[in-house]
Structure 1
Amino acid sequence: MARLLALSLPDQRRYLQKQLPGLKALGLQYAARGDAPRLQADLIDAIFRHTLVDDQPIVRTATLFQERLEGRGQLFERGQRLVAALTEALKTATRIEILLAKLVSPPVQATRMDIDAQLQWLFRARFVTQIEAPWLMSYARYLKAIDYRLDKLPGNLARENENLAKVARFQTRLTGLSVEQRRLAGEFEWLLQEYRVSLFAQPVGTRVPISEKRLEKAWTELESALR
């Protein structure tokens, strides 16, 4: 549906491609990680989806389709916010990777590998096309939480390892799912990201209330859905 709406608004799409502040710079910033032009195109698609499709009733008639097009006035503003959020996230990710390269002592290798894996998951190929707006807009906060975690790491290894073990309990369960099951575990994946924030960087704050008990409940519900 997002594609059909975008095809019906070619002028708005071209305007976003040419005039959206920071879009070209974001592509350059991302180039070391992957396909920058693909990211930029995916981002434009995501702006249409977030603005005109997500969290709205399914369009089943031509009248509803035309009504949905009336939301085009929000595209530019939504695009600005998304580009700003991802720009901040990528900037922080680059700083984090520099810090990770300095973690060479054996006691912190588990932390380094955990954060490496988290970054790879967050910035996986075509990530912009796979993620709903609220979680994508949380990227800067997730990266801020990782930055905070690394800042507090010296002298905090005992607590760090305790929290690593707590996260690993749930991460291992996800790893055991099939590819198809993993696709259905999207909401749980994001709750686990929020759980990470609550454990490693509580002052940063979470988007939703989260605890080990809540995560266990979410896992039980996911297991039921997968049966």
Structure 2
Amino acid sequence: MYEAIATSSFIFAVLGILVGLAFLRVSNRKPLGKALAIGCFFIALASCEYNRSVVDRRDKQEALSHGYANVNDWKVARQQLIPIEVGLGAISQRRAAQEAERLRLERNKQEEDRRLQEEERKRQEEQRCATELKCIGDKIRSYATVYCPRYVERLAKNDFQWTDGWLDEKFSHYRWANGSHRTITFIGDKIKFQNGFGAWTYHTYECDVDPAPEHVVDVRAHPGRLLP
């Protein structure tokens, strides 16, 4: 606080000196200008002296805190320490950069490990699913629903007519095809075929789908409906 007051006093004293010098140019203000300039000069001098003593006292306290009784010895030592501190700062920066790089590599490795673990989990899940009828059947049901009907329609010798509603499924059942644990047979009975006499007959149809990759293997139909 006292340092701020001294600094402010110095500034106002300098301004007072300038005003005093300006008054010296005016004949009836010369005595006032002279007194003002001299008074402000001593105030400025006192402010400088106070600030210098504060700096000296601070330097002495800093020297004592570092184990030096003589301020000049501490100043010399501090100048010698500057390159060392700069070097230590550079070493710290290198170490910080090395640590950041290590953490980055470690984080990348953890992410890669998680990715590999997730891929392995999916692979094992796919292997397990491929051997379970319900799992693989539910997985490729949407494919069968989209692609099998066009093959079923081609079985009609004349006209055909789907009887399923908006909420019905064209393929209500599925099973392994011919005992194979690879191809799935999707089964439904929501179609009528017209014979040569114009009569309509319900038919049960079957569509064999290979899941890997998904494609239709075979399709067939016979008169009649599925048992309830």
Normalising by structure 2, report the TM-score.
Answer: 0.21
The structure with the largest strand share of the pair is 2
The structure with the largest helix share of the pair is 1
Larger radius of gyration: 2
Higher relative contact order (CA 8 A, sep 6+): 1
Normalising by structure 1, report the TM-score.
Answer: 0.21
